[in-house]
Structure 1
Amino acid sequence: MNKKAPSLKIVESKQKNLSQAGLNAFFKLAQAWALNLKEQMDLLGLNATSTYYQWKKQAPKELSRDTLERLSHLLGIYKALQILFPDPKVADAWVKKSNQAPLFEGLSALEKMRQSLADLYQVRAYLDAQRGAW
């Protein structure tokens, strides 16, 4: 059984498509959640507005592992909220509401998620547990 490795051209094409799809989904999520520029940059782990605008114009060939992980958690959070709250407006508003659950300590989910990649993971795990996914 002799399998050929995919050509570099195919791999690069798939990475580009993944980057583009992930960022497109993020920008739609950001619109649904009514996120401002700073909130979007924090969630993406960006410091430079120039990078943000470049990504919005055209996705890079390859996103960092950190960015891909952030996108994965954000999309998982979005999905979990859509499952937990059948009304999309309620689901989208949840991220900005103060939360008294011990994980949040009175912060909104958005405030918590903006702190770090680990906090993004914790919010996703919390929501997955709430919907019984674990």
Structure 2
Amino acid sequence: MSLKNLRKQTNPNSSNEQENKVLGEAFWNLVKLYGFNQMEQAALLGIKYNRQRLKDFSDDQVIPDDVDKKYRVGLLLGIHKNLRILFPHNKEIVYGWMKSSQADFNGKIPIEYIMENLDESLPRLASIRRRLDYIRCAE
């Protein structure tokens, strides 16, 4: 084994960078598929809206290096997975669900529910994920 390979294996930053890259690519692909605008993207990531910062993240296909941001992307991926399982043959429903009125949220639109109180965006994102988990498991 070369010294370069040994450093890669023992360098925690190399796996962290790879994880951030994978999660970043997943996040930016999902926001594109769902048609989230920059304000919605910032809310989903739990960051203050800054057009240039979001553009830089998008261009580099990364997210901020923060456990909170990784958790948020994981929740969004879980929401997407549940929607794909619940509506396997209807991509219109899958990609429109977050922007359509939902009875489970008192008729609110999920992305608006998240953005309604930005200080509560993480628990609201988690509640959407939990609700979809429940619906998927109940079927």
Instruction: Give me the TM-score of the superposition, normalised by structure 2.
Output: 0.81
Tell me if 1:109 matches 2:110.
yes
**1:57 positional shift:** 2.6
**1:51 positional shift:** 2.6
8 A contact 1:33–1:92 mirrored in 2: yes
What is the CA deviation profile of residues 48-77 of structure 1, one whole-angstrom value per residue up to 9, with x for unaligned ones?
A: 3333222223236x6111101100000000
**1:112 positional shift:** 2.0
SS class of match (2:101): coil
Tell me if 1:93 matches 2:107.
no
SS class of match (1:106): coil
Please tell me the root mean square deviation across aligned C-alpha atoms, in Å: 1.7
The structure carrying a bigger helix percent of its residues is 2
8 A contact 1:46–1:52 mirrored in 2: no
Partners of 2:136 and 2:103 lie apart in 1 by 18
Counterpart pick for 1:126 among 105, 124, 131: 131
Partners of 1:29 and 1:122 lie apart in 2 by 19
Partners of 1:89 and 1:99 lie apart in 2 by 15
| Sequence identity (%) | 29
User: How many residues of Structure 1 are paired with residues of Structure 2 in the alignment?
Assistant: 123
Residue identity in the other structure for 2:122: L
**1:45 positional shift:** 1.0
**1:110 positional shift:** 1.3
Residue identity in the other structure for 1:34: G
SS class of match (1:46): coil
**1:82 positional shift:** 0.4
Partners of 1:91 and 1:57 lie apart in 2 by 25
5+ residue gaps, structure 2, are 1-8
Residue identity in the other structure for 2:57: W
Matching residue of 1:46:
47
